[in-house]
Amino acid sequence: MTDRSLSSLPQASYRLLILVLAVITLALAGCSSTRVIDNDVRTFSTLASMPEPPTYRLQRLPSQQIDSPFRAMIERIATEELARVGMQRDDTNGALRLELGAYANAYLPDWPYYSNFGFGLGYGPWGWNPAFGYWGGWRDRPPTLYVREVRLILRDSEGNVVYETSARYDDIWTNDEAIYRALFRSALDGFPTPPQGVRRIRHEIVP
């Protein structure tokens, strides 16, 4: 539509067109600035109230002894999110023992007539198992999906599990920092007395 044709519109119609274009622009801006993350959460707790004292120490499994940027990120985010619900890290005298796990994988959906590819890595109870491969024929491919998952276990001084939780997210988004933060926040939702079992928690994230 040319400037001349726009100017020939009745003034009311012209204003309506401008309003519609403004609404569309705002909607597109909102879509590009806000992302919704739906986390599948499984939580089980035997805690009746906040632990006293509300402290924990991190216990790394044998597979978690090698330093890596991925491990450092997972431990940092978990520490920050536990502090957010009132739990303080004390690796010397912590009352509870914390075990952490995290997993990441990229894959193509197993849809008919599509090839398949996968790559993954893990930190925690799953172990450290990089793997990748390709199988199937070359065809138009569906979008690559990324799965992120975290697991958190708190044990008392006798080794009994008092809090067990995990959260999972599958989508095409790949911002690890934001995704893992949302996952740990979901996993700790309702701490120390969350709803038991499986539920879905939604987060809106502004990049």
Residue scoring higher pLDDT (35 or 129): 35
Choice among 29-33, 62-66, 183-187 with the minimum mean pLDDT: 29-33
Residue scoring higher pLDDT (134 or 63): 63
Cβ contact 60:98 at 8 Å: no
Check whether 75 has a pLDDT greater than 70: yes
Give the integer Cα–Cα distance in Å for 156 and 97. 6
Residue scoring higher pLDDT (35 or 57): 57
List the chain domain ranges.
1-33, 35-205
Q: What is the pTM of this model?
A: 0.71
Q: Is it true that domain 35-205 has CATH number 3.10.20?
A: no
Give the integer Cα–Cα distance in Å for 111 and 115. 8
Rg (CA), the chain: 23
Confidence grade of residue 131 (pLDDT, cut at 50, 70, 90)? very low
Residue scoring higher pLDDT (207 or 26): 207
Q: pLDDT at position 64, please?
A: 84
